[in-house]
């Protein structure tokens, strides 16, 4: 099961195709990286005007110095950060689940539209209904759908507004049990702030970049995602210096090892392993430098370790899921479909179809 992600967390733009505003599909897909298909993480603008995750485009350029979309020649040194977009992605990611929840058209509502239940038809002339041929009936249905959608939109927009209003209120009246840390200006529970946090914050200025796992804090930062970079620009940018590529041919193995140990990386393994380790860390590190919310080097090192172990497993030819592992995965996916109210019946059918097909495939 190594490396397999939780199927619950797989989101894609088509989630919005079944909602009352299917156009959000476009926005959702525009905010994603063309390489990893995830939401842009530390987006970088190329000289040809396309945008990718920092990690993805750096990995890609290591192989071929071409833009993956227009295949123009580009260079890693010409990449530039796209800060507004990163903030946009951050705030969109936070509202996405709510947005999806509010906009999803319930199955029975859809059915109403298709079945032309009286409530909906009342909007039209009843006389026409009986006389018209089937084709024109279809037109009626379309009009009805539009009407229903419009009323829904109004309703939804008002509820989205109220969502924001509520948040603003929260900002004005901060929870009495929390306080803002004077050093890293993040919100913590008072108790933690008074006892442990300030000491930790003073001792190690890095935790700023590590967002505390508190929902309150995330919400607060979401209401003003740009304020951070506007008011404290120097703190987040250039805390870390970029690493440079190494010229391996002129570097002896001990020299390479000292380079690695300076970065607190393991120095075990063959020469080839050392080089790939440095290359991967170089990409992770430089991409991290591009992010507004740069992570602690410790996090990067654990990411590197994870990556390395996943590679090793594959080298040993153990990449295959055994039958049980695969079945387990399908079971999980099925359960998540059941649990998740967002998914429509349609998808469930698809999932069933898929399992059937798999049995044939075996």
Partner 1 sequence: MATKRLMKEFSLIKKEIKSNPEYSNVIFLEPLDNLFEWRCILKGPAKTPFEQGKWELSVQVPEQYPIQPPKLKFKNKICHPNINFNTGEICLNILNQDQWSPAWNLLSTAVAVLLLLQNPEPTSPLNIDIANILKLNDKMAYDSLIRYYTYRFGNAEI
Interaction between residue 45 and partner 1 (CB under 8 A): no
189: which strand partners? 178
* Chosen residue from 37, 245, 312, 339 binding partner 1 by CB under 8 A: 37
Interaction between residue 3 and partner 1 (CB under 8 A): yes
> CB 55 → partner 1: shortest distance, Å?
8
* Chosen residue from 100, 246, 311, 342 binding partner 1 by CB under 8 A: 311
> CB 97 → partner 1: shortest distance, Å?
17
- For partner 1 (CB under 8 A), the number of binding residues is 39
Whether residue 298 contacts residue 281, with contact meaning beta carbons closer than 8 Å, is answered with: no
* Chosen residue from 24, 44, 56, 284 binding partner 1 by CB under 8 A: 56
- Cα–Cα distance for residue pair 276/176, rounded to 1 Å: 50
Rounded to 10°, the helix 345-361/323-339 angle is 170
Per-residue contact string for residues 106-145; x = within reach of partner 1 by CB under 8 A: ----------------------------------------
Q: Closest CB to partner 1 among 69 and 180?
A: 69
Interaction between residue 241 and partner 1 (CB under 8 A): no
> CB 17 → partner 1: shortest distance, Å?
8
Whether residue 31 contacts residue 39, with contact meaning beta carbons closer than 8 Å, is answered with: yes
Show the tokens assigned to 361. Answer: 């495939």
Interaction between residue 69 and partner 1 (CB under 8 A): yes
Interaction between residue 34 and partner 1 (CB under 8 A): yes
Interaction between residue 60 and partner 1 (CB under 8 A): yes
Interaction between residue 59 and partner 1 (CB under 8 A): yes
Whether residue 29 contacts residue 18, with contact meaning beta carbons closer than 8 Å, is answered with: no
Interaction between residue 332 and partner 1 (CB under 8 A): no
3-state SS string for the chain: CCCCCCHHHCCCHHHHHHECCCCHHHHHHHCECCCCCCECCCEEECCCCCEEEHHHHHHHHHHCCECCCCCCECCHHHCEECHHHHHHHHHHHHHHHHHHHHHECCHHHHHHHHHCCHHHHCCCCHHHHHHCCHHHHHHHHHHHHHHHHHHHHHHHHHHHHHHHHHHHHHHHCCCCCEEECCCCCCEEEHHHHHHHHHHHHHHCCHHHHCCCCCHHHHHHHHHCCCHHHHHCHHHHCCCCCCCCCCCHHHCCHHHHHHHHHHCCCCCCCCHHHHHHHHHHHHHHHHHHHHCCCCCCHHHHHHHHHHHHHHHHHHHCCCCCCCHHHHHHHHHHHHHHHHHCCCCCHHHHHHHHHHHHHHHHHC
Interaction between residue 357 and partner 1 (CB under 8 A): yes
> CB 101 → partner 1: shortest distance, Å?
19
Binding window for partner 1 (CB under 8 A); candidates: 67-75, 88-96, 204-212, 265-273 = 67-75
> CB 356 → partner 1: shortest distance, Å?
9
Interaction between residue 22 and partner 1 (CB under 8 A): no
Interaction between residue 350 and partner 1 (CB under 8 A): yes
Q: Closest CB to partner 1 among 96 and 259?
A: 96
Q: Closest CB to partner 1 among 79 and 120?
A: 79
Interaction between residue 42 and partner 1 (CB under 8 A): no
Interaction between residue 358 and partner 1 (CB under 8 A): yes
Show the tokens assigned to 325. Answer: 């592992």
How many residues in total does the chain contain? 362
Interaction between residue 158 and partner 1 (CB under 8 A): no
Interaction between residue 304 and partner 1 (CB under 8 A): no
* Chosen residue from 71, 78, 159, 196 binding partner 1 by CB under 8 A: 71
Interaction between residue 328 and partner 1 (CB under 8 A): no
The residues that touch partner 1, with contacts defined as CB under 8 A, are 3-5, 7, 10, 12, 14, 17, 34-38, 56, 59-60, 63-64, 66, 68-69, 71, 311, 314, 319-323, 326, 347, 350-351, 354, 357-358, 360-362
């Amino acid at each position: 099961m190594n490396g397999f992600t939780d199927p619950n967390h797989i989101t894609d733009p088509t989630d919005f195709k079944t909602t009352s505003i299917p156009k959000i599909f476009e926005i959702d897909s525009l905010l994603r990286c063309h390489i990893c298909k995830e939401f842009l993480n530390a987006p970088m603008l190329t000289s040809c005007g396309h945008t990718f995750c920092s990690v993805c485009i750096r990995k890609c350029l290591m192989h071929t110095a071409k833009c993956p979309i227009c295949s123009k020649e580009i260079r890693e040194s010409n990449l530039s950060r796209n800060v507004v977009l990163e903030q946009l992605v951050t705030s969109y990611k936070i509202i996405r689940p709510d947005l999806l929840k509010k906009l999803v058209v319930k199955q029975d509502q859809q059915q109403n539209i298709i079945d032309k239940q009286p409530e909906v038809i009342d909007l039209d002339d009843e006389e026409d209904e009986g006389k018209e041929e089937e084709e024109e009936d279809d037109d009626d249905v379309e009009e009805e759908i539009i009407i229903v959608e419009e009323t829904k939109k109004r309703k939804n927009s008002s509820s989205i507004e109220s969502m924001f209003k509520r948040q603003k209120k929260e900002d004005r009246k901060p929870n009495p049990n929390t306080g803002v840390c004077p050093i890293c200006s993040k919100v913590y529970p008072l108790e933690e702030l008074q006892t442990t946090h300030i000491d930790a914050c003073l001792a190690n200025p890095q935790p700023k970049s590590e967002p505390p796992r508190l929902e309150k804090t995330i919400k607060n930062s979401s209401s003003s995602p740009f304020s951070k970079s506007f008011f404290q620009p120097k703190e987040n940018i250039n805390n870390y210096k970029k690493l440079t590529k190494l010229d391996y041919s002129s570097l002896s193995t001990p020299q390479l090892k000292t380079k690695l140990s300076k970065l607190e990386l393991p120095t075990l393994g063959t020469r080839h392993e050392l080089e790939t380790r440095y290359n991967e860390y170089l990409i992770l590190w430089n991409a991290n430098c591009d992010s507004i919310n740069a992570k602690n080097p410790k996090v990067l090192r654990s990411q590197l370790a994870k990556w390395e172990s996943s590679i090793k497993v594959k080298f040993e030819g153990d990449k295959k899921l055994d039958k049980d592992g695969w079945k387990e995965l399908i079971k999980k996916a099925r359960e998540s479909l059941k649990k998740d109210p967002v998914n429509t019946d349609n998808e469930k059918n698809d999932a069933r179809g898929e399992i059937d097909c798999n049995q044939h495939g075996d």
